[in-house]
């Protein structure tokens, strides 16, 4: 393999829990909810699929179905989709919906998987290029910089910057071109069999990891090193 492409959320990084997300925003805005109410609200937000990088909606409102399907094609669509599903949940201040969206874009909301740095460093030592290919509506580069992983990444290919989202093979082609490699020499690593599996149509090898909390997946990335020799 000449290069490895990684997904972002659920592959290299994991978003905080829905309860932590809500609690942080309430604290930032000087608001408080009784613990039982906070727990209920957090569960409702999770069921709604309001946390980007978290659970998918259990029931998507019909009026949001169209934007949800293309949410990763632009920053505006991404914000509209996630604040839209969040607004299905009653919160004490209308400003909280945008505040929650802003929170999820901060480095503090994300934690790298325990073996992410080790694996990225190993690839760098072997002279293998690394790209990050993500369906996303905002610039994740500050997250990588804050957590010290940016030096290991040679190219970022973000759906909202190209108006294309996975599994469209064109997004993976952009990444291959950015790294100067041909698809048959590339391994795509991700957690979503549909989205990340789209790389196979281009001729890339594909390896899947489980989208689990950081504490439950201490070494999910290491096995892929065996695939590249």
pLDDT mean over 193-218 = 97
Same domain, yes or no: 128 and 79 = no
Would you call the peptide bond into 82 cis, given omega within 30 degrees of 0 as the criterion?
A: no
**Secondary-structure percent of the chain, ordered helix, strand, coil, rounded to 5:** 50, 15, 40
Q: Residues 49, 55, 60, CA angle at the centre, nearest 5°?
A: 35
Give the model confidence (pLDDT) of 26-76 as tens digits: 999 999 899 999 999 999 999 999 999 999 999 999 999 999 999 999 999
184 in the same domain as 153:
yes
Verify that 50 and 10 share a domain, yes or no. no
Q: Give the domain range for residue 29.
A: 16-108
Mean pLDDT of the chain: 97
Which of 68, 88, 108 is the C-terminal boundary of a domain?
A: 108
Structure tokens at 83: 């604040």
Last residue of a domain, one of 51, 78, 108: 108
Whether residues 46 and 120 fall in one domain: no
H/E stretch holding 155 reads: strand 155-158
CB 156 within 8 A of CB 141: yes
Tell me: do 183 and 120 sit in the same domain. yes
């Amino acid at each position: 393999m000449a290069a490895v492409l990684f997904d972002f959320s659920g592959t290299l990084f994991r978003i905080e829990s829905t309860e932590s997300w809500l609690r942080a925003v309430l604290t930032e805005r000087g608001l408080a909810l009784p613990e039982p109410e906070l727990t209920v609200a957090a569960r409702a937000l999770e069921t709604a699929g309001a946390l980007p990088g978290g659970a998918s909606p259990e029931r998507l409102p019909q009026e949001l179905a169209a934007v949800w399907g293309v949410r990763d094609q632009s920053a505006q669509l991404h914000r509209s989709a996630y604040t839209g599903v969040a607004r299905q949940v009653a919160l004490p201040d209308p400003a909280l919906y945008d505040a929650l969206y802003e929170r999820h874009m901060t480095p503090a909301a994300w934690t790298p998987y325990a073996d992410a740095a080790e694996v990225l460093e190993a690839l760098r030592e072997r002279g293998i290029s690394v790209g990050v290919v993500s369906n996303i509506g905002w610039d994740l580069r500050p997250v990588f910089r804050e957590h010290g992983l940016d030096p290991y990444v040679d190219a970022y290919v973000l759906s909202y910057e190209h108006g294309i989202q996975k599994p469209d093979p064109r997004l993976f082609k952009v990444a291959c071109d950015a790294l100067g490699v041909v698809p048959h020499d590339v391994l795509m690593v991700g957690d979503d069999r549909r989205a990340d599996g789209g790389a196979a149509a281009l001729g890339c090898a594909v390896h899947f990891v489980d989208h689990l909390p950081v504490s439950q997946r201490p070494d999910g990335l290491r096995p892929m090193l065996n695939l590249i020799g």
